[in-house]
């Protein structure tokens, strides 16, 4: 009997060790399971939101999964049921369109920044453009902008060209990108001689950039809202808290956005 109890105690001790080891192995994995939010965001926000998401994840607060694209196409995906939690557009009209359909939490809607346009060219360009009017020069054979039909920066670029009276002179040489990042990539790769894109993208690569007068086009109001279908509202509010904090505002300004007065 004594031998039996000794064997039982030994087995119990071994079992406790095994369970303890398993718990020790699982604990770090469990600790890495952060709340997740899915964010649809305009392409110009790629560097800002990527940096914000990395900070939140590094701090062990949440994981943000981003889908970047043109505001109009993302809005259409949301209307068709895409499972996003938060939508940040480069134009108020797309957020308001979703609001009219009852798809956003209305009190979460906010204009959090204003974007800026630039003319961007590679450093090795042989025909530098110092203004929008210079884009009418025949030597600049191709000029890229985002598609004005669904990309706010493309619409602003067209408005600016019209304001300067050169739209008709360049329209046949315009190359449309699906979004502002693609338009910028056309210029970066040398497929076009110049692109009118978001200032927030200029920091990605060393090129030549010229500011476009913001008075030449409608404001590029970066607007966001939490979607009503979201199951991660608390996580979205956590992301917005960082975005609206001094640290978040500093990141926005570093990428060329201006911060409007709160409405």
Q: Which of 221, 224, 186, 228 is nearest to 207 (CA)?
A: 186
Q: Residue 260: inside a domain, yes or no? A: no
In this prediction, residue 1 carries a pLDDT of: 47
Q: Are residues 102 and 124 in the same domain?
A: no
CATH of the domain at 227: 3.40.190.10
Q: Residue 145: inside a domain, yes or no? A: yes
Q: Residue 12: inside a domain, yes or no? A: no
In this prediction, residue 261 carries a pLDDT of: 73
Q: Residue 262: inside a domain, yes or no? A: no
Q: Are residues 69 and 145 in the same domain?
A: no
Q: Residue 243: inside a domain, yes or no? A: yes
In this prediction, residue 13 carries a pLDDT of: 40
Q: Are residues 105 and 63 in the same domain?
A: yes
Across residues 245-263, what is the average pLDDT? 89
Q: Are residues 130 and 196 in the same domain?
A: yes
Q: Are residues 83 and 51 in the same domain?
A: yes
Q: Are residues 110 and 234 in the same domain?
A: yes
Q: Read off the pTM.
A: 0.84
Q: Are residues 102 and 171 in the same domain?
A: no
pLDDT in tens, 18-42: 444 444 444 344 346 899 999 999 9
In this prediction, residue 206 carries a pLDDT of: 75
- Residue 91: which domain range? 36-114+221-254
- Pairing of the two strands 86-89 and 117-122: unpaired
Q: Are residues 105 and 124 in the same domain?
A: no
Q: Are residues 180 and 97 in the same domain?
A: no
Q: Please give the tally of structural domains in the chain.
A: 2
Q: What tokens were used for 35?
A: 């709340």
Q: Residue 25: inside a domain, yes or no? A: no
Q: Residue 263: inside a domain, yes or no? A: no
Q: Residue 15: inside a domain, yes or no? A: no
- Phi and psi at 261, nearest 5°, equal -65, 140
Q: Are residues 79 and 100 in the same domain?
A: yes
């Amino acid at each position: 009997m004594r031998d039996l109890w000794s064997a039982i105690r030994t087995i119990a001790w071994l079992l406790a060790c095994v369970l303890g080891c398993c718990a020790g192995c699982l604990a770090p994995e469990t600790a890495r399971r952060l709340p997740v939010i899915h964010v649809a965001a305009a392409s110009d926000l790629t560097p800002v939101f990527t940096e914000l998401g990395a900070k939140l994840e590094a701090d062990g607060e949440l994981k943000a999964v981003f889908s970047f694209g043109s505001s109009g196409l993302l809005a259409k995906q949301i209307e068709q049921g895409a499972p996003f939690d938060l939508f940040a557009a480069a134009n108020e009209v797309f957020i308001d369109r979703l609001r009219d359909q009852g798809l956003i939490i209305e009190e979460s809607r906010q204009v959090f920044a204003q974007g800026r346009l630039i003319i961007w060219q590679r450093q090795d360009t042989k025909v530098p453009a110092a203004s929008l009017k210079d884009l009418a020069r025949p030597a600049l054979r191709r000029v890229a902008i985002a598609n004005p039909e669904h990309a706010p920066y493309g619409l602003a670029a067209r408005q600016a060209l019209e304001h300067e009276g050169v739209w008709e002179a360049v329209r046949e040489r315009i190359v449309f990108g699906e979004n502002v990042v693609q338009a910028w990539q056309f210029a970066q790769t040398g497929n076009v001689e110049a692109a009118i894109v978001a200032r927030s993208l200029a920091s990605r690569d060393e090129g030549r950039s010229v500011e476009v007068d913001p008075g030449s086009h409608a404001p590029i109001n970066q607007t966001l809202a939490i979607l009503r279908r979201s199951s991660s509202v608390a996580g979205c509010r956590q992301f917005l808290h960082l975005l609206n904090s001094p640290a978040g505002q500093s990141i926005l300004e570093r990428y060329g956005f201006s911060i409007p007065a709160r409405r």
